[in-house]
Amino acid sequence: DAMVIQNPRYQVTQFGKPVTLSCSQTLNHNVMYWYQQKSSQAPKLLFHYYDKDFNNEADTPDNFQSRRPNTSFCFLDIRSPGLGDAAMYLCATSREGGSLANYGYTFGSGTRLTVV
Amino acid sequence: DQQVKQNSPSLSVQEGRISILNCDYTNSMFDYFLWYKKYPAEGPTFLISISSIKDKNEDGRFTVFLNKSAKHLSLHIVPSQPGDSAVYFCAALGAGNMLTFGGGTRLMVKP
């Protein structure tokens, strides 16, 4: 089945130690998104790729970076995780010209990041 | 400034009864509204959507109502089933095809 896969499902990292979360998709969607979701809050968009074009949200901290080496893969790098970065990180995809209004984005299962 | 709000963090309903989840928005330029369902340890999955030019969309047990003048939408689940227990997110599609999410409502359907 075509899907969005996030690895790992759970990640524990030390305060200040760089960590990378990965996302892959078999849907051949050209847009990929990274969201941060903290408990009982709305998912917050960090950035998205439109093909290879990177779009950063204005309030995304510089501590968060992303790479998209090809259509299928996208990475979220947190350079120096703080305790406040503990959250669920969701990757999502969509296709330009697709039935976005009817189906929205396709999400992965998320990576829950714990910072110790 | 939250453009999409779900003011009820949780809702408890008896099996077989109607569940009504509410959502308010502030941006009148949103084109579509979507509801997502999220189980623990899983990503949100699309449930149902409605165009801003319509006032109702129905899909099986799920119906979404849109009141543009009040900038309010609601999701009705009839009859509610225990498997419907999840967090429900309201989302709005606006400029640049960006989705803006509400904070979610946790629905618990009791057998």
Q: Is B42 on the interface with A (CB under 8 A)?
A: yes
Q: What percent of chain A has pLDDT over 90?
A: 83
Determine whether A70 is exposed, middle or buried from the number of CB atoms within 10 Å of its CB (0-12, 13-18, 19+).
exposed
In terms of Cα–Cα distance, which of A88, A32, A3 is closest to B41?
A: A88
Report the range of poorest mean pLDDT among A42-46, A68-72, A93-97, B103-107: A93-97
Contacts of B34 in chain A (CB under 8 A): 101, 104
Q: Please name every residue paired with A20 in a beta bridge, in sequence order, or none if there are none.
A: A77
**B23, B34, B47, best to mutate vs chain A, most A CBs in 10 Å:** B34
Centre a 10 Å sphere on the Cβ of residue A90 and count the other Cβ atoms it contains.
Answer: 26
Res B1: pLDDT: 67
Beta-strand pair A10-13/A111-115: parallel
Report, as an integer, the average pLDDT of B17-41.
93
CA distances from B58 to B16, B47, B55, B74, B76 (A): 18, 11, 10, 12, 9
pLDDT beyond 80 at A2: no
Q: How far is A9 from chain B (nearest CA, A)?
A: 8
Contacts of B104 in chain A (CB under 8 A): 40-42
**Closest residue of A to B35, CA-based?**
A104
Q: What percent of chain B has pLDDT over 70?
A: 99
pLDDT beyond 90 at A83: yes
Rounded Cα gap, residues B93 and A105, in angstroms: 10
CB contacts < 8 Å between A and B, how many?
62
pLDDT beyond 70 at B86: yes
Rounded Cα gap, residues A34 and A17, in angstroms: 20
pLDDT beyond 70 at A98: no
Res B40: pLDDT: 86
Rounded Cα gap, residues A27 and A106, in angstroms: 9
- In which residue are the tokens 């009148």 written? B28
Res A1: pLDDT: 65
CA distances from A17 to A79, B75, B81 (A): 7, 43, 44
